[in-house]
Chain A
């Protein structure tokens, strides 16, 4: 039953749905806009909604709604894993703000979101998690600066907490009473903003300040589960990237910097962090990260670096490769946050700012390919360490970080 004259392939390809890009229709989004509920509850006297400061950039979320990302006057909600084990990650986020002249505040009146522990051990409950969240929000509100969340899990967890507080009046009451005992108002921010959304918003400013050519750098992107799978409607999408069907928050930054993004077949897979597993049952984490992510990236894309935007993902992908290599697996891709990569491209010191000496996988081939003289930079950093050791200075300062 085949035809005599073969029909040209172009005639046979899709044409039923004529446009190649889906036109989003936020008025008919499948989910409620939670921000409307926040304001309704404020009008009823349930809580205070902290407004996004005026200086913002707008971004599109999954259903075409607009999210306002504050450029500055942000209260930085830090990440345990970043500050503890990947200090170049948080340092790079701050450095980018400083380079762009964006005012921010780095608080000591901040606790962990405690979600890592919660997801690992369940030694907590909905009320405690919500109370921890709103205590941090109140602390930010008291300074007048707007919360900006560093960790992907904090971000996803706070999005979930926001849903629970909106839909459960009994939870709101319990948490309000706790805040009252602490002498704090019940506050919820108008938007929950992840730092990678700020990097995304500022990507063109960052690209303008690029000093290294990264057009020869191939990047694979790993998006964090907790960024886009928890409360999926609140994540950044771009109709021009991935046909508008995958979160574009990192990819857009990489493209703005001029590097090449290579796709791979396990893009949507979790890294395998596991919260509890990465600490006490690492065979799972290691196997998953190696077999499902790193080996696939290496085989299919052979990237110079893999970039992600979450603490757990950087930790998992970076730390899982050493043991895997010892077993002869096909691994060896340096892992950075997009903030560190953007900072490097802008000329940040790989050690004073990006703190790459805390990373496991060898990043030096990447730096060489970017044209960064890591030997000279390491020598400078070793000098800094000597000065610290000799007591000539107590700490490395921001001025030291940028000294030539």
Chain B
């Protein structure tokens, strides 16, 4: 008898929404998460708020977690990984391993992979921003952590900074690095954070150094125009080559391409708008389930652009940033679609099995 259970790997926004959706569609859910908590990256990385509406991330994620907790349809295993998987729709044999070493074999009908992304590490060898040398060079994530605490200070002094800048496209759009894609959300996130910083520190000068501002759809006025017009955030077209220290300040070296000249500007805090890379969990699950990765390293889907969630392996779907840079809306939408497809394929298997039985052993 085919299994009617949908296995969801990853308990971040995509995984949580998929779990809720699958349960609502009436199928049992096995939700597996390698960390000790649900909520995924927004929780682990202490996100302050979501882009673009600035709703509180912690509250939102708690709500999502509540939706799946204490539901008899949804079994949740924390600190658990998928270490082996084979078979096909209706009949995937998977092995789960908990951190304590216990393993468990089970059969599931379909799988949704929601293993998310990691943030690009700007301390790596290709970058010249001094992330591991200078305390006052931060990432978007370091800034989120402070903003969540409703604070923004220079780490080296503990005092509020007078001059803050964001450097866009760190770890993205870079052939030298091998990340030849745009990470989609960093322009929106940086602008959101710029607004939040200006709200905390109205007298601070805030700059964003960019190549292109990626302001899709309604972000244009919700974020970009708002940041410029209401909060006087300075957007300067021209990226930065290196960050060094001069006396008490950091100094950034870039070109102001509008004015057509090199610039060297002191800053108190530099925030690197780091992009997305395939997470360690995504790379691992790709090996375990034999899921091909497309040329940028994320999980491959088939049928694009009219299908965003189907992987080349029948019965396995992907939701969220495991498939490439996604914003939170993308992740939720994919999760709903993946849930629908995951349940459909399980139901189809069950129908076929029932038909076969009733027809006396023939059929497909």
Contacts and interface: CB of A to CB of B under 8 A. Distances in A.
A266 B123 CA distance: 20
A15 B145 contact: yes
B141 to A, nearest CB: 4
Contacts of B125: 22, 24, 62-64, 237, 244-245
B130 A245 contact: yes
A14 B139 contact: yes
Interface in A24-74: 24, 30-31, 62-64
A376 interface: no
Given A14-B138, A268-B128, A2 B151 contact: yes
Contacts of A265: 244-246, 251
A183 interface: no
Contacts of A13: 135, 142, 155
Interface string B190-232: 0000000001100000000000000000000000000000000
A21 interface: yes
Nearest to B136: A13
A265 B130 CA distance: 12
18 contacts: A2-B151, A3-B150, A7-B151, A12-B145, A12-B153, A14-B138, A15-B145, A16-B141, A16-B142, A17-B123, A17-B131, A30-B177, A62-B126, A243-B132, A244-B125, A263-B244, A263-B245, A267-B244
Interface residues of A, number: 35
A300 interface: yes
A1 interface: yes
Nearest to A263: B245
B244 A21 contact: no
A56 B152 CA distance: 51
A22 B150 contact: no
Given A7-B146, A17-B131, 14 more contacts: A2-B151, A2-B200, A6-B151, A13-B155, A14-B131, A14-B155, A16-B142, A17-B139, A20-B132, A22-B125, A31-B178, A62-B125, A245-B123, A246-B128
Contacts of B128: 245-246, 268
Interface of B: 45-46, 119, 121, 123-133, 135, 138-139, 141-142, 145-146, 149-151, 153, 155, 157-158, 176-178, 199-200, 241-242, 244-247, 251, 253
A164 to B, nearest CB: 18
A357 B149 CA distance: 62
B245 A3 contact: no
Interface in A226-251: 232, 237, 242-246
A182 interface: no
B119 A17 contact: yes
Contacts of B158: 6, 9
Shortest Cβ-Cβ A-B pairs, 8 listed = A243-B132, A30-B178, A265-B246, A9-B158, A16-B141, A22-B124, A265-B244, A13-B155
A380 to B, nearest CB: 43
A104 to B, nearest CB: 32
Contacts of B244: 263-268
Contacts of A242: 133
A16 B46 CA distance: 9
A9 B126 CA distance: 29
Contact of A243 (B119, B126, B131, B150): B131
Given A16-B139, A300-B246, A22 B123 contact: yes
B151 A243 contact: no
Contacts of B241: 268
A236 to B, nearest CB: 12
Contact of B155 (A6, A9, A63, A268): A9
B251 A243 contact: no
Contacts of B176: 30-31, 232
Contact of B123 (A1, A3, A243): A243
A375 B158 CA distance: 52
Contact of B149 (A3, A15, A17, A237): A3
Contacts of A9: 153, 155, 157-158
B238 to A, nearest CB: 17
B150 A1 contact: yes
Nearest to A242: B133
Nearest to B174: A30
A300 B249 CA distance: 12
Nearest to B41: A16
Chain A at the B interface: mostly helix, strand, loop or mixed?
Answer: loop
A30 B277 CA distance: 14
A115 B81 CA distance: 56
A31 B176 CA distance: 8
Contacts of A62: 125-126
A121 to B, nearest CB: 26
With most chain A CB atoms within 10 A of its CB, the pick from B45, B121, B200 is B121
B142 A244 contact: no
A243 B146 contact: no
A294 to B, nearest CB: 15
A355 B108 CA distance: 79
A21 B123 CA distance: 7
Nearest to B177: A30
B197 to A, nearest CB: 11
A400 B283 CA distance: 64
Nearest to B118: A17
Nearest to A61: B125
Interface in A257-298: 263-268
A91 B178 CA distance: 42
Nearest to A243: B132
B350 to A, nearest CB: 42
Interface string A206-235: 000000000000000000000000001000
Given A1-B200, A16-B119, A243 B133 contact: yes
A246 B177 CA distance: 16
Given A30-B176, A246-B128, A265-B251, A12 B149 contact: yes
B136 to A, nearest CB: 9
Contacts of B133: 242-243, 245
A30 B124 CA distance: 12
Contacts of A266: 244
A245 B246 contact: no
Given A14-B138, A16-B45, A266-B244, A245 B127 contact: yes
Contacts of A31: 176, 178
B242 A14 contact: no
Nearest to B250: A265
Contacts of B123: 17, 20-22, 243-245
Contacts of A6: 151, 158
B345 to A, nearest CB: 34
A22 B119 CA distance: 13
Interface in A345-377: none
B57 to A, nearest CB: 14
Nearest to A17: B121
Contacts of A2: 150-151, 200
Contacts of B124: 22, 24, 245
Nearest to A23: B124
